Amino acid sequence: MITKTAHVFPQTGTDDTTARPDATSADVGQALRIGVDGSIDTIDLTRAQDGSYGTAICEAIGCRRYTITDVDAQTDMWIDDEGMPDLGDVEMVTATLNPLATLLLAEHREIYQPYFGVALFTGRDGERTTGLDAAHVMRLRTAAEAIASRPAHLEAFRQRVIAAVTRRA
């Protein structure tokens, strides 16, 4: 069983992944980006000119700060640390909920919450962030496409989250 873990590193303009033990200066490589609109994109994720992985990851998901969530022993999911909406704001929850990324994560481990904003899946070797190799990208993409091929399932999940938020508001 994989333990629920989240790592938070503020965007500092330096190589934020050095906060993880055994970090190296190698390029991150490929990553899989899941948009709130259900888009699934394989992207090249390389170090920025200043050598920062954090900058490249923030650019890929459109954020200033990020949170890393363990997917499995070889995969991390990066999301906007400031992307969690006020759960009293139903419109914001509806606009930022990422059911595809949440359900893709649920294919690999227990989930404790829905996730919001663009999600980026990268590789991991121990505590070191790595790029995804072609086979890893294909496995994640295939799983994401299988989930996306069931729009009624995605919509049911979205409606359950919205109903829960509406009860809270």
Give the pLDDT of the chain (169 residues) as one tens digit per residue.
232 333 333 333 333 444 443 344 455 479 999 999 999 999 987 766 665 567 778 888 988 888 899 999 999 999 988 777 888 888 989 999 999 999 999 999 999 999 999 999 998 888 777 789 999 999 999 999 999 999 999 999 999 999 998 887 6
- Angstrom distance (rounded) from CA 52 to CA 16: 7
pLDDT per residue over 78-116, tens digit each?
A: 998 877 788 888 898 999 999 999 999 999 999 999 999
Domain ranges for the chain: 6-168
- Angstrom distance (rounded) from CA 158 to CA 95: 11
pLDDT per residue over 46-56, tens digit each?
A: 766 665 567 77
- Angstrom distance (rounded) from CA 139 to CA 141: 6
Q: How many CB atoms lie within 10 A of CB 49?
A: 6
Give this prediction's pTM: 0.80
Are 83 and 71 contacting, i.e. CB atoms less than 8 angstroms apart?
no
